[in-house]
C-alpha cells in the first residue's frame, strides 16, 4: 500500500486513525498499541502477505536477543545479533549479486534462483541493529513485547524511514497526547508531501526516464539530453524523497509522534559534508554511530580517518542496492567527503580569516556541491556502469555540444542544433524553476513545524509560518486539488512507488 494511493488515503488512514483514537482514549492505551501493530502489519503485508511472516520472525528473534542483553550485557550476544541481522539482510539483498559476480569472475556456471527482495528489509534491519546496540549500552528503559513490535512496525516510518531509536519513539507513545493542533499540522504536512510526490516528482520523471532508457539501450545521448536527464532525475529523487519524508512526519503527528527530521533542504548545502548532514539524516546518523565511529572515526590519524570515510560511504552506497553502480556512487561520495575534509584542514585558517567576508564563496560552494551531486546521481540512477558512463561522458561534452532547436547563441556558432529525446524548452524552463525552488524557498518543516531544531531559520520564515487560519486552509486545499487533478489526468502515475522503496 502506498501513501499516494486512494485506498491508503480514503480507507486505511482514516479507519486506522479513528479506531486508534477511540481505543486509546475510551478503552486502554495498550490495546490501542496492539491495534496499531495489527494495522501496520496489514499495511506491510498489502504487497505480499508472505512478507508479514518474514518481518514477524525478525521481530521475534531480535526481541529475544534484546531480552538477553538486558539481563547480561554480553558482547557475544550483541555480536550474534548483529551477525544474524546482517546475514539476513545479506542473503535477501546480496546473494544473487555475489553469486552472479563470482560466476563471472571464475567463468563457472554457478547460479541460484532469483531471490525477491522483501520490502523495507534494509530499514527495519538497521533499526533493529540500533536497538540491540542501544540495549547493550543500557539506553533502553523498558522491553515490553507489544511496544517493541510498535517500534519496528509503525507504518509511517516502516517502509523507507526515518531510521529511529527506541528511545526516540516509545516514550512519545506512552506519555504523549494527540492534540488538535498537531493533528491539523500533520494533515497539512502530509498533503504538501503528497503534492511533491504526485505533482512534481512523478511529473519530472517524463524528462529523465526516456533518456536513461535510451542510454541503457546504447543510444548516444546529445549533450543537452544528458544534462536534462541528469537534472530531471536529480529533482525527481529530491521531491520524491522529500515528499515521502514530509508524509511520514505528517502521519506521525496525526498519531501524536514527532519522527526525527530526515530531509532538510540538502541542495542548499555549500559542501558535500553539509550535504550528508541534510540528506537522509537518520541513515547518515546510523552510519556515523555504528560504522564510522567503531572503525575509529577521526581518532587514529588523518590517513585512517580518510580511509574510514571512504569505507563508510562505500558501504552506505552498497546499502542502497546490490549493483556496482551503487558501489561507484558510494566511492564517489567517499572521495568527495574525504577531499572536503582535507580542504577544510588545509585552508581552515584562510577560511576563518576571509571566508565570512565573501558571501559569493558560499554560492560557489553550493553550485560546485550541486554539480558534484548531480554527477553522482547519474550512477545512482543508471541500470549499470556502462549506462552511467554514457550519460556522464555526454554531460562532459564527449559527444559534442548541442542546444535545443529554436534556441540560438550567436557567439557559439560551433554548437550544433539538437532535436532531442524530450521537449527541451519546457524541460529547461521547468528544471530552472525547480532549481530556484530548492535553492531559495524554505522547506515544508520550516513553514509548518514550530520546533526550532526542525526549522533552523525561525526568523526568516515567521511571516510564512503555518497557522490555523483560513489562508492556510486555502493553501492546503490548493495543494490537495492539484493532487486530485493529477490523479484524474495521469492515473497511472498516482500509483507510482517511492524511489526509496527499492532500497
Output phi, psi for 292, to 5 deg: -65, -50
Greatest C-alpha distance within the chain: 77
Annotation marks residue 333 as catalytic: no
Q: How far is CA 148 from the centre of its chain?
A: 24
Rounded distance, CA 179 to CA 187, Å? 13
Rounded distance, CA 274 to CA 121, Å? 28
Which of 83, 94, 262, 74 is CA-nearest to residue 162? Answer: 262
Rounded distance, CA 325 to CA 382, Å? 7
Q: Which three cell numbers stand for residue 103?
A: 560466476
DSSP 355: G
| 3-class state of residue 484 by DSSP | helix
> Could you tell me which residues are beta bridge partners of residue 404?
418
Q: Which residue has the cell 487533478?
A: 485
C-alpha separations of 217 from 66, 104, 183, 273 in Å:
49, 22, 48, 35
- Give the number of other Cβ atoms within 10 Å of residue 278's Cβ: 18
Ranges of H-type helices in 196-260: 202-216, 223-254
Q: Which three cell numbers stand for residue 69?
A: 542483553
> Residue 5 burial (CB < 10 Å; 0-12/13-18/19+)?
middle
> Could you tell me which residues are beta bridge partners of residue 418?
404
Catalytic annotation, pick one of 165, 320, 333, 341: 320
> Residue 308 burial (CB < 10 Å; 0-12/13-18/19+)?
buried
- Give the number of other Cβ atoms within 10 Å of residue 26's Cβ: 8
Query: CA 481, 487, 491 angle in degrees (round to 5)?
Result: 170
Q: Taking a C-beta distance cutoff of 8 angstroms, is the pair 333, 313 a contact?
A: yes
Positions marked active-site: 320
Amino acid at each position: 500500500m502506498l501513501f499516494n494511493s486512494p485506498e491508503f488515503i480514503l480507507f486505511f488512514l482514516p479507519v486506522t486513525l479513528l479506531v486508534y483514537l477511540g481505543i486509546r482514549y475510551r478503552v486502554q492505551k495498550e490495546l490501542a498499541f496492539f491495534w496499531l501493530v495489527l494495522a501496520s502489519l496489514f499495511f506491510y503485508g498489502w504487497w505480499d502477505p508472505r512478507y508479514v511472516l518474514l518481518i514477524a520472525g525478525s521481530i521475534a528473534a531480535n526481541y529475544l536477543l534484546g531480552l538477553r542483553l538486558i539481563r547480561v550485557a554480553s558482547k557475544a550476544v550483541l555480536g550474534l545479533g548483529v551477525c544474524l541481522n546482517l546475514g539476513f539482510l545479506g542473503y535477501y539483498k546480496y546473494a544473487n549479486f555475489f553469486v552472479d559476480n563470482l560466476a563471472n569472475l571464475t567463468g563457472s556456471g554457478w547460479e541460484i534462483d532469483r531471490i525477491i527482495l522483501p520490502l523495507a528489509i534494509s530499514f527495519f534491519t538497521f533499526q533493529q541493529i540500533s536497538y540491540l546496540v542501544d540495549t547493550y549500552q543500557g539506553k533502553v528503559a523498558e522491553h515490553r513485547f507489544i511496544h517493541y513490535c510498535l517500534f519496528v512496525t509503525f507504518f509511517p516510518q516502516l517502509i523507507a524511514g526515518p531510521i529511529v531509536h527506541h528511545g526516540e519513539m516509545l516514550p512519545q507513545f506512552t506519555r504523549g497526547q494527540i492534540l488538535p493542533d498537531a493533528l491539523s499540522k500533520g494533515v497539512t504536512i502530509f498533503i504538501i508531501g503528497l503534492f511533491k510526490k504526485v505533482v512534481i516528482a512523478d511529473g519530472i520523471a517524463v524528462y529523465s526516464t526516456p533518456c536513461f532508457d535510451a542510454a541503457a539501450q546504447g543510444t548516444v545521448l546529445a549533450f543537452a539530453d544528458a544534462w536534462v536527464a541528469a537534472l530531471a532525475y536529480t529533482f525527481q529523487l529530491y521531491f520524491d524523497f522529500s515528499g515521502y519524508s514530509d508524509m511520514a512526519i505528517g502521519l506521525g503527528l496525526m498519531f501524536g509522534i514527532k519522527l526525527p527530521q530526515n530531509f532538510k533542504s540538502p541542495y542548499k548545502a555549500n559542501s558535500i559534508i553539509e550535504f550528508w548532514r541534510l540528506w537522509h539524516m537518520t541513515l547518515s546518523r546510523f552510519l556515523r554511530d555504528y560504522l564510522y565511529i567503531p572503525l575509529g572515526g577521526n581518532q587514529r590519524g588523518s590517513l585512517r580517518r580518510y580511509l574510514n570515510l571512504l569505507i563508510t560511504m562505500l558501504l552506505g552506497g552498497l546499502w542502497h542496492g546490490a549493483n556496482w553502480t551503487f558501489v561507484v556512487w558510494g566511492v564517489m561520495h567517499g572521495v568527495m567527503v574525504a577531499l572536503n575534509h582535507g580542504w577544510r584542514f588545509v585552508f581552515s585558517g584562510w577560511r576563518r580569516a576571509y571566508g565570512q567576508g565573501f558571501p559569493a564563496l558560499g554560492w560557489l560552494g553550493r553550485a560546485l556541491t550541486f554539480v558534484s551531486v548531480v554527477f553522482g546521481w547519474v550512477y545512482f540512477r543508471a541500470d549499470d556502469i556502462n549506462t552511467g558512463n554514457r550519460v556522464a561522458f555526454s554531460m562532459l561534452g564527449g559527444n559534442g555540444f548541442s542546444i535545443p532547436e529554436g534556441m540560438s547563441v550567436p557567439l557559439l556558432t560551433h554548437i550544433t542544433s539538437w532535436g532531442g529525446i524530450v521537449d527541451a524548452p519546457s524541460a529547461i524552463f521547468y528544471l530552472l524553476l525547480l532549481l530556484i525552488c530548492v535553492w531559495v524557498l524554505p522547506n515544508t518543516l520550516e513553514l509548518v513545524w514550530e520546533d526550532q531544531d526542525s526549522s533552523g531559520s525561525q526568523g526568516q520564515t515567521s511571516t510564512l509560518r503555518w497557522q490555523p487560519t483560513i489562508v492556510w486552509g486555502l493553501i492546503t486545499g490548493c495543494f490537495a486539488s492539484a493532487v486530485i487533478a493529477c490523479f484524474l489526468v495521469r492515473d497511472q502515475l498516482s500509483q507510482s512507488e517511492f524511489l526509496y522503496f527499492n532500497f
